[in-house]
Amino acid sequence: MTELKNDRFLRALLRQEVDRTPIWMMRQAGRYLPEYRATRKQAGSFLDLCKNAELACEVTMQPLRRYPMDAAILFSDILTIPDALGLGLYFEEGEGPRFRKTVRSEADLEGLNSFKAADDLSYVMNAVSTIRRELNGSVPLIGFSGSPWTLATYMVEGGSSKDFRRVKAMAYDQPELMHRLLTLLADAVADYLIEQVKAGAQALQIFDTWGGALSAAGYKEYSLKYMQRVISRLPSEADGRKVPVIVFTKGGGQWLPAIAACGAQSVGIDWTTDIASARAQIGGQVSLQGNMDPSMLYASPARIREEVATILAAYGHGPGHVFNLGHGITPEVNPEHVTAFVDAVQELSPQYHQN
């Protein structure tokens, strides 16, 4: 494999010394970039874009051509596994993802397709290997999956939800059925991430987008437990390097000690959590990723720079911080404001890494 020229991101995840704080953005390949919109139009649809390795590689590389990011992230979707299980994923304009089938009964669960990531999601692995080749060692490549609980929410609800009433009703009233679904999904997610590492992913992120919708007890039983199951099966090394795992639970700031004990090397935090407090609680166990409010990118470049300075100062000196947004970048952001964001991290962070 090609030697990695910039390993700042991987080193920071492992709490090793770096010269400055590394940066990447969730959804950094996306609709805020005009070149992304042009490529998606060329592909015909979002799913067609995901399934075309060359075009998925192209949109993965687009933000790296504009900004000196310290990592690339695979361009795909968290709902590839439910789609492969036979639920029929499609997207409605303005309404997000939808499934033609749902899982709300024993019969629905029994009716799911068998799953083998290498075969059923070979288009994702093709994209990973294509992107890794194109990166040519410039920066590491992040692979990812949705968490078992987050995938379950879409599979039971049939799409996005505001109240999660169907999936929570299943969890609280039919816990045995819910645990069977989550076990199936945890094993599928682990298989999927293992194959991504084989194809060339150098770090992994588990997106637990809807873990924060649960109660404290519910989170540990239905979300965290199954992420631990996934992480316990993942390879610790590939190509002679550690493969760090990041767990990101949106809305999970109140459960940081439990999340830090799940086996991941890094914990992503959203913008509702104070990063100084997070470091004080768990910074001795794991690195932290985050956590500027994505909406800050609508502010002026001067205000963005001020916020970056505030977050860097709050984290303080020493390694173990990957700068990111507290959730994905939103489509209406001016790309020039991203330039201000990345420049500020690059220019202001070295002072926190001097001995």
Residue closest to 20 by CA, chosen among 301, 273, 253, 312: 312
Annotated catalytic residues are: 27, 31, 40, 77, 154
- 154 annotated to bind ligand: yes
The pair phi, psi for residue 134, each rounded to 5°, is -65, -35
The pair phi, psi for residue 99, each rounded to 5°, is -120, 140
- 28 annotated to bind ligand: yes
- 27 annotated to bind ligand: yes
- Residue 134's identity, in one-letter code, is E
- 30 annotated to bind ligand: yes
The pair phi, psi for residue 321, each rounded to 5°, is -125, 125
Round to the nearest angstrom and report the end-to-end CA distance of the chain.
33
The pair phi, psi for residue 145, each rounded to 5°, is -150, 160
- 353 annotated to bind ligand: no
336: how many CB neighbours lie within 10 A of its CB?
A: 10
What does DSSP say about strands 266-268 and 245-249: parallel, antiparallel, or unpaired? parallel
- 77 annotated to bind ligand: yes
- 317 annotated to bind ligand: no
Residue closest to 155 by CA, chosen among 145, 166, 144, 163: 166
Annotated binding residues for substrate: 27-31, 77, 154, 209, 327
Annotated binding residues: 27-31, 77, 154, 209, 327
